[in-house]
Amino acid sequence: MTPASQETRAGMQIQGRPVASWVADVNIERGLRDSDPALDVLVSAGPTLLTHLAEILQRDLSTTQQAKAADVIGVIAYRNRGAPELPDVVPALASGAENKDVRVRQVAAQSLASVGKAGSNAIPVLSRGAKDEDEWVRKCAVGALRLIGIPTSQALEALHGSLSDLDGTVQIFAVQALYELGKPAT
């Protein structure tokens, strides 16, 4: 736990504010160059927040808050690739990747890509996500299968199926994934 964070009866706090309050302030629509003070505070707290963020993703009634929690998990995962806490958040992200809300599904699949190999237990969910009705969910799911990088039969079947996707970007992602996994895209 960082010096600026503390555990209270109401949950974890950073700089005297509940983590959920910081999550609510995250701008999920930010660009790569956009500054986001709330995200910066959460990321600076590091992997110790992952369990709390996973709880928000699974238990919050607001799909906006769920998507933001998944987003923050993804950024923390990306910046802390080997963190031992990462496998613990995979079930929450996998659940998010099957959420009824399309934005939560998209962001959760993207965050599973950031988790990398530690997200291998989510391969079945991502394989289903490769067939989602939403093209962005399909792109994120195929991209996550690529970055997890484990050529299970289920992942390969999903990637081969994505070669005939109506969206050209999904097709390209599938070809890239199959190439990187050492399997021909036939």
Give tens-digit pLDDT for 66-88.
999 999 999 999 999 889 999 99
Q: What pTM did the predictor assign? A: 0.90
Q: Which residues of 148-162 are buried (b: 16+ CB within 10 A; e: fewer)?
A: beebeeebbebbbeb
Kindly tell me if the per-residue pLDDT of 99 is higher than 80.
yes
Identity of the amino acid at 13:
Q
Given this model, what pLDDT does residue 29 score?
A: 87
Q: How confident is the model at residue 130 (pLDDT cuts 50, 70, 90)?
A: very high
Asked if residue 170 has pLDDT above 60, the reply is yes
The per-residue pLDDT for 177 is 95
Query: At CB < 8 A and 24+ separation, what contacts does 40-46 make?
Result: 41/14, 41/15, 42/14, 42/72, 42/76, 43/72, 43/75, 43/76, 43/79, 44/2, 44/4, 45/1, 45/2, 45/4, 45/5, 45/14, 46/2, 46/76, 46/80, 46/83
Of 32, 92, 86, 85, the residue nearest 67 (C-alpha):
92
Average pLDDT of span 124-132: 98
Contact 76, 39 (CB under 8 A): no
* pLDDT value of residue 77: 95
* Residue 90 confidence (pLDDT) above 60: yes
φ, ψ of residue 6 to 5 degrees: the values are -150, 155
pLDDT at residue 185, as a whole number: 63
pLDDT value at 138 more than 70: yes
pLDDT at 10 over 80: no
Q: For residue 81, give both structure tokens.
A: 């690739």
d(CA 91, CA 16): 29
Rounded CA gap, 57 and 76, in Å? 14
